[in-house]
Amino acid sequence: MTAAAPVSITMVKKRLANGEPCEKCAQTEDMLRRRGVWEQIDEVVWAIEGDDASSGVELGRVHGVEVAPFFVLRFEDGSEEVYTSGMRLLRDHLSQPRADTSASAKPAGKAPDAGLVSNLASQWQTLEPGEIVRLALERFGERCAVVLTGAEDVVLVDMAVKSGAPFRVLFVDTGRHHAETYALIDDVTRHYGIEIKSVLPASDELRKLLEEKGQNSFLRDGHRECCAIRRSRPLARALDGFDAWIGHQRVGRELESPGSEAVVEVETGQAPESRGLVRVNPLVGWDNNALWSYVRKHGVPHNELHDRGFRFIGCEPCTRPIRPDQSDREGLWWWETPPASDESSEPLGEGI
Ligand code: SF4
């Protein structure tokens, strides 16, 4: 038995060509879950049958492993150790609580450390968005959600479907979307045959806001309070238990923190539940032309409000159509003075 406790454990699972996980991998995961130690597995990457470039196959090549599942343990001194038996791993390393090896050790179920995220960001920065989506789903497995809020996100759903990896979709339902947006959600559900989980505001927080300030407090007090209650905090709560989420940065953050986008980053949102999550932004390198050319080429369902001049589509009272010569700000929260540059944005869920 290795005396030292690992600082991270990666499980490599095999996915068959038909998209199903291999039975032994599923059984091993089930065993670890039943023993209550699954949260000690930091990440899951996939070895996809017939895809030599998949992350799991690559890890197998590096470590000379030809079976699945297997586990790669990393230690503080930089060494690595491979286990091909879940039971042996359980006996040697998972029966005791993991050592807290640093002051910034992440809580169970949260994302990898900032160093790993920074490495991913530099490795993925130049890849095509579809490739980034595939790699993110392979690396974070079912603990990665696609967050659906606008036209860009449907593109991400399309890429996730094409990746063949399992994924979950969350829709942030503020309760104030346009009717056309709710129609789009139904359309996407049918088009891809997927389930979309609606994320709703907490009823007590919403009731308090409405009772104290009415329906349209954002017109007087600015959008932040309402957005926090209807969007950011509900999404943060819904992402509790996930390691990563895939979304877009175009709305809100792009307006308020232009140039701040990275392909992968550690979530630093105001909602505590979200901090430490990995946020994957595959579309940061795309402009509107690239986005809409993908939508047209792949027949991706889109919100018909875009055809009526909406550049951004969020809540009905806060977004409106604009002419090509108008700035983005004219179409979103236009009654507000643009925030000062030192005012931080609300990263999680700031995109509509
Ligand atoms: S976009 Fe407007 S209505 Fe929607 S949550 Fe934000 S402030 Fe509230």
CA of 323 to the centre of ligand 1 (A): 22
pLDDT, average across residues 171-196 = 93
The answer to whether the CB of 89 is under 6 A from ligand 1 is no
Per the CB < 8 A criterion, the answer to whether 223 and 336 are in contact is: yes
CA of 188 to the centre of ligand 1 (A): 23
Atom of ligand 1 nearest to the CA of 316: 3
pLDDT, average across residues 213-218 = 94
User: What gap in Å lies between CA 187 and CA 185, rounded to an integer?
Assistant: 5
CA of 292 to the centre of ligand 1 (A): 25
- Binned at pLDDT 50, 70 and 90, residue 101 comes out as very low
In tens, the pLDDT along 155-169 reads 999 999 998 888 899
- Binned at pLDDT 50, 70 and 90, residue 131 comes out as very high
Rounded to 10 deg, the angle between the 114-124 and 129-140 helix axes is 150
Question: What structural domains does the chain harbor?
Answer: 8-94 (3.40.30), 114-331 (3.40.50.620)
Per the CB < 8 A criterion, the answer to whether 249 and 351 are in contact is: yes
CA atoms within 13 A on the CB side of 179: 0
Percent of the chain with pLDDT over 90: 38
Say which range, 46-50, 76-80, 202-206, 257-261, has the weakest mean pLDDT: 257-261
Provide the pLDDT for residue 319.
Answer: 92
Does the pLDDT value for residue 299 go beyond 90? yes
CA atoms within 13 A on the CB side of 177: 25
Provide the pLDDT for residue 280.
Answer: 92
Does the pLDDT value for residue 350 go beyond 50? no
In tens, the pLDDT along 64-91 reads 998 889 999 988 888 899 999 988 888 8
- Binned at pLDDT 50, 70 and 90, residue 103 comes out as very low
In tens, the pLDDT along 14-37 reads 888 777 778 888 888 878 877 778
CA of 226 to the centre of ligand 1 (A): 6
User: What gap in Å lies between CA 311 and CA 332, rounded to an integer?
Assistant: 9
Q: Which of 72-81, 99-108, 249-258, 293-302 has the highest mean pLDDT?
A: 293-302
Say which range, 20-24, 92-96, 187-191, 208-212, has the weakest mean pLDDT: 92-96
| H or E element that contains 14 | strand 8-15
Provide the pLDDT for residue 164.
Answer: 84
User: What gap in Å lies between CA 226 and CA 216, rounded to an integer?
Assistant: 9
Atom of ligand 1 nearest to the CA of 229: 5
Could you tell which of 178, 217, 231, 350 is best to mutate to test the pocket of ligand 1, judged by most ligand atoms within 8 Å of the CB? 231
pTM of the complete model:
0.66
pLDDT, average across residues 322-334 = 88
Does the pLDDT value for residue 138 go beyond 90? no
Does the pLDDT value for residue 300 go beyond 80? yes
Pick the residue with more confidence: 273 or 313? 313
Provide the pLDDT for residue 54.
Answer: 84
Average pLDDT, the chain: 81
CA of 28 to the centre of ligand 1 (A): 44
- Binned at pLDDT 50, 70 and 90, residue 203 comes out as very high
- Residue nearest atom 1 of ligand 1, based on CA coordinates: 315
The answer to whether the CB of 317 is under 6 A from ligand 1 is yes
- Residue nearest atom 5 of ligand 1, based on CA coordinates: 227
- Residue nearest atom 4 of ligand 1, based on CA coordinates: 315
Burial class, 74, CB count within 10 angstroms (exposed 0-12 / middle 13-18 / buried 19+): middle
